[in-house]
Structure 1
Amino acid sequence: MNAAASEREFWRARLYVPNYRIGEAARYAHLSSQTVAKWHSKPGSNHKSTLSVKPKGASLSYLQLIEVAVVSSFRKSGVTLKKIAAAREYLAKQLEAEFPFAEYRFKTDGKDLWMDYAQFEANSGDKTLLAASRGGQLAWSDIIGRLQEFDYENDGGLAIRWHVAGRNEGVIIDPRLQFGAPSVEGVATWAFKGRWDAGEEIDEIADDFGIANLDVITALRFEGVDVEAGRQTRH
């Protein structure tokens, strides 16, 4: 790999840096901090770990954050923690993946975790699916829904972008942008909040960053700012 290519790929080192506090991950995924911590704690003797075990109080890396987001999506779809843990154990062994929920693409029918079998076997065909939560059982279907909140590298593999507020909003978490901080139009959401807290108006902030007023409002709302109440207070 030449120097220019190495520079472009430098962001990959950020995938493993513990940049996200438990409370931040919980807020982004609409979970409680206790739930996120529990998913990363050492399970009892009769249970499998939901996610990678980590020291108490330690921050999460980008890959760990995405695993939290993916598991949260599974849970909202109705998949049990038991099946999620079983799928993770199976994939960790079969694919030798430390963070399989962040490194591969999934589908769910609300009961099980499915993967396109092409992620295991390139010539398997587009409609062959593998049930990771059932020890690798195969099926053929095109009606199981993909997780919609994530974009994947080369349309498969690593979850490279999380639409953290939903696809209809402009807030994303991408390790290639702003060191993985939540951002809107390439600007970290905390930067908008800082300008707002300093007393600047939305028009001023939007002009400085060269973006639409609505993008500024989207970022501020993500940061927990009540824009309308703030406007009334200022005027």
Structure 2
Amino acid sequence: MEPRLVGTGLYTPVEAGRLLRVAPGKLSRWLRGHTMKGTRYERLWEPQVDIGDGHVYLGFRDLMEARVVDAFIRQGISAIRIRRAIQVAAEMITESHPLATNRFRTDGREIFLQVIETDEHGQERERLLNLFQKQYEFRGIIEPILKTVDFGDEGDPLQWWPQGRRAGIVVDPARAFGAPIEAKTSVPTSILAEAAHALGITEAAVSYDVSEAAVRRALDFEHVLEPRIAA
């Protein structure tokens, strides 16, 4: 892998779709754009990774962006409105992948951007800006998916716990090039699962110097990902 991709993560639409449980074809359309019934629909955002071979790839930020886009679409918000929200938010907070941050909420109809303002007395307060109406809203809107991502001080996504922290599996672009890993040992789940199938749990644990519990966690995670998603 090229040095510039270290810490970025690199996923094909199939690999990303397997993790996100989103059809690879849908991810490709989001990142490449598509034409339907004579109408051209532009991509939702510019991909983080372009290695120049003409194929679509996702970086870790793309993975997190796609995860939120999928959640918004499931809530009933159209891709056209999401594209516009990304454009407006990117301009407001100068962030190429704004939906990958922890500053968004939705009520199923609108998309809101969390804004921190400082008043004339120097006091900070949190408000929610309706990106479509450019109006502030004060609603208790919660996105459970944010709870499985660790964010930095600036709201940037650092790592993702696909099945929650208790499952012990993490996706971290700074480790194993973004492949899902057993959190305590940093061994990719696919490797531990393959070893377990070939050698058995006990021998796999000995071979990779990890606990049998770590191998079982990897097996459980890979088992959940087994069903294939149609394009």
Q: Give the TM-score band, short-chain normalised.
A: 0.7 to 0.9
Say whether 1:51 aligns with 2:42: no
Q: What is the alpha-carbon distance in structure 2 between the residues aligned to residue 51 and residue 34 of structure 1?
A: 16
Q: Which is further off, 48-57 or 85-94?
A: 48-57
**Contact 1:15–1:61 (Cα < 8 Å) also in 2:** no
Cα deviation code 1:154-198 (max 9, x no counterpart): 2x510111122345522221123222211112221122023224x
Give the CA deviation at 1:32: 0.8
Say whether 1:34 aligns with 2:25: yes
Give the CA deviation at 1:96: 2.6
Q: TM-score, normalised by structure 1?
A: 0.74
Q: Do the aligned partners of residues 215 and 74 (structure 1) sit closer, same or farther apart at CA in structure 2, a change above 3 Å counting? A: farther
Q: How many residues align?
A: 208
Q: What is the alpha-carbon distance in structure 2 between the residues aligned to residue 73 and residue 12 of structure 1?
A: 30
Q: What is the alpha-carbon distance in structure 2 between the residues aligned to residue 58 and residue 13 of structure 1?
A: 15
- Flag structure 1 segments of 5+ consecutive residues without an equivalent: 1-10, 227-235
* Counterpart residue number, 2:15: 24
**Contact 2:90–2:96 (Cα < 8 Å) also in 1:** yes
**Contact 2:89–2:113 (Cα < 8 Å) also in 1:** no
- Flag structure 2 segments of 5+ consecutive residues without an equivalent: 226-231
* Counterpart residue number, 2:141: 144
Higher RCO structure (Cα 8 Å, ≥6 apart): 2
Q: Do the aligned partners of residues 204 and 78 (structure 1) sit closer, same or farther apart at CA in structure 2, a change above 3 Å counting? A: farther
**Contact 2:28–2:56 (Cα < 8 Å) also in 1:** no
Give the CA deviation at 1:222: 2.6
Point out the structure with the larger helix share: 1
User: 1:70-109 counterparts in 2 under 5 A?
Assistant: 70-109=68-107
Cα deviation code 1:62-109 (max 9, x no counterpart): 211221122122223333323211210101222232211224432222
**Contact 1:79–1:110 (Cα < 8 Å) also in 2:** yes
Point out the structure with the larger strand share: 2
Q: Do the aligned partners of residues 80 and 169 (structure 1) sit closer, same or farther apart at CA in structure 2, a change above 3 Å counting? A: farther
Q: TM-score, normalised by structure 2?
A: 0.75
Q: What is the alpha-carbon distance in structure 2 between the residues aligned to residue 15 and residue 135 of structure 1?
A: 37
Q: What is the alpha-carbon distance in structure 2 between the residues aligned to residue 167 and residue 77 of structure 1?
A: 24
Q: What is the alpha-carbon distance in structure 2 between the residues aligned to residue 167 and residue 81 of structure 1?
A: 30
Give the CA deviation at 1:225: 8.1
Partner SS, residue 39 of structure 1: helix
Give the CA deviation at 1:114: 2.1
Partner SS, residue 32 of structure 2: coil
Say whether 1:65 aligns with 2:63: yes
**Contact 1:105–1:157 (Cα < 8 Å) also in 2:** yes
Say whether 1:213 aligns with 2:215: no
Partner SS, residue 36 of structure 1: helix
Give the CA deviation at 1:210: 5.8
The alignment yields a C-alpha RMSD, in angstroms, of 3.0
